[in-house]
Structures are given as structure tokens and as C-alpha cells.
């Protein structure tokens, strides 16, 4: 079941890329203190005739009222440890700069991407300590729940991470057991029962997704990366 779900996620990611596309921009911001690299992932863009005015950065990319700061990420990590894709892009180390400090800007690079991909890094990421995100994970697992595929990778070995995996295994085993029971009910059911069983399956996936989020929240601070792909 899990291998089929992973294959579906991969095929679906190809089909929806055009419909749910976003763009990762790498900007070079020329500031009074020097050149700053800035990364953002957005569905918006900047018209070419506005490229000479830094204030358009916030107008188009972060159009909240009275926005005086341009918010961005300082680092882009090419993450290669997920079974669904060769490379995913993690934007890490949040920062901001007052718009009046930007003298000019240019687009150094763009990457076509999709906003259906999500990521959560349980530990804080320091710009001077990114090597662990490039190193092979000590353990990885996947889980499918509520229209989302979760790929979970740990990048360290310690008691906290071992405890996390113990709790994750319990959650995953419970989900698999209940899912298989409902699947068998569906096989044996007549047409009048299928809607009710489908609703049970949906509730199971919703509950599992909530329980996973609660579990992750209990292990904030550990070197664990969670990649999600949700099909809306």
C-alpha cells in the first residue's frame, strides 16, 4: 500500500506542476552594507518595467499594507533524501531588511517549483551549520494520511530521536491496522455500505494527520526533516 501511495505522489507531482506552480527566486540585493542573497518561494512575480524600484519587491511579493520590510530566506538547500523526488529545495534561515536599505536588486536565478510541496524542520537551522542537511539520514519513513504524503528523515542519533521513532512506529502501525480492517470491510461490503466505509476511512486519515502533527510538535529541536506533498 505504501509503495503504491509513493508512486501516486510522484506521478501526481508531475501532473500538477503546471497547475500549482510557484517560483523560487534568488535575488541579489544591493544594499548600503553590501550585496545580500535572498531567496523566496512565491506564485507572484515582478513586471520587468518595475525592476528598477526596490519597493516593488514588497508590493508584488508581500503585498500587506504598509509593508516596510522585505522578508526572505538567506539560504537554499538542495535536499536529496526524499524517495519521491531527486531534489527538493528547502529555504532556511529567515531574515528581513528594511526596504529603504535596498539600493537596487536583480534576479540571479529562478527555479520552477510547486506550492504543493511543504517542509518542516524540527530544529533551528543556522547558516553556519548546514552540513547535516546534506548528509544521509540515519533513518527515513513515509506515511500517507488525509490527501498528504509525509516523508520523515532523522539526521542524528540520540535518545530523543529514538523516542520519536518509537512513537511514530506505534502511530504508523495503528493506522495500517485500522486501514487494512476498513479495506477488508470495503471488499466484503455491498453498494449500500460503501459510503459509510469511505467516511470511516476519511476520519481515520484526518485523525492520523492530526496525531502526527501533535507528535512532531513534541519533538521540536531535533534534527528531523518532514517533507509533505498534499494534493489539495
The pLDDT tens digits for 178-221 are 999 999 999 998 888 999 999 999 999 999 999 999 999 999 99
Asked if residue 228 has pLDDT above 60, the reply is: yes
- DSSP-derived secondary structure letter, 80: -
232 CB contacts (<8 Å, ≥6 apart)? Answer: 20, 116, 147
The total number of structural domains that make up the chain:
2
Tell me the C-alpha to C-alpha distance, in Å, between residue 6 and each of 89, 101, 147, 169, 172: 19, 45, 12, 18, 15
Provide the domain limits for residue 142.
1-17+116-232
Same domain, 219 and 135: yes
Same domain, 106 and 124: no
If pLDDT is split at 50, 70 and 90, which confidence band does 226 have?
Answer: very high
Residue 168 burial (CB count, 10 A):
21
Same domain, 111 and 121: no
Contact 84, 185 (CB under 8 A): no
Between CA 223 and CA 158 the distance in angstroms is 10
Q: At which of 90, 115, 140 does a domain end?
A: 115
Amino acid at each position: 500500500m505504501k509503495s503504491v501511495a509513493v508512486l501516486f505522489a510522484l506521478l501526481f507531482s508531475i501532473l500538477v506542476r503546471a497547475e500549482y506552480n510557484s517560483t523560487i527566486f534568488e535575488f541579489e540585493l544591493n544594499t548600503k552594507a553590501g550585496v545580500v542573497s535572498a531567496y523566496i518561494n512565491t506564485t507572484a512575480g515582478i513586471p520587468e518595467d518595475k525592476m528598477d524600484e526596490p519597493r516593488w519587491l514588497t508590493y508584488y511579493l508581500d503585498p500587506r499594507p504598509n509593508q516596510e520590510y522585505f522578508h526572505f530566506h538567506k539560504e537554499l538547500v538542495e535536499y536529496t533524501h526524499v524517495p519521491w523526488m531527486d531534489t527538493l529545495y528547502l529555504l532556511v534561515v529567515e531574515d528581513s531588511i528594511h526596504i529603504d536599505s535596498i539600493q537596487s536588486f536583480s534576479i540571479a536565478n529562478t527555479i520552477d517549483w510547486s506550492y504543493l510541496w511543504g517542509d518542516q524542520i524540527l530544529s533551528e537551522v543556522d547558516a553556519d551549520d548546514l552540513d547535516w542537511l546534506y548528509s544521509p539520514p540515519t533513518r527515513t519513513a513515509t506515511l500517507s494520511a488525509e490527501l498528504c504524503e509525509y516523508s520523515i528523515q532523522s539526521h542524528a542519533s540520540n535518545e530523543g530521536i529514538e523516542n520519536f521513532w518509537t512513537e511514530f512506529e506505534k502511530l504508523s502501525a495503528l493506522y495500517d491496522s485500522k486501514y487494512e480492517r476498513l479495506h477488508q470491510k470495503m471488499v466484503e461490503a455491498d453498494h449500500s455500505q460503501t459510503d459509510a466505509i469511505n467516511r470511516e476511512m476519511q476520519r481515520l486519515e484526518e485523525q492520523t494527520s492530526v496525531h502526527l502533527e501533535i507528535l512532531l510538535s513534541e519533538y521540536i529541536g531535533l534534527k528531523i526533516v518532514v517533507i509533505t506533498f498534499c494534493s489539495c
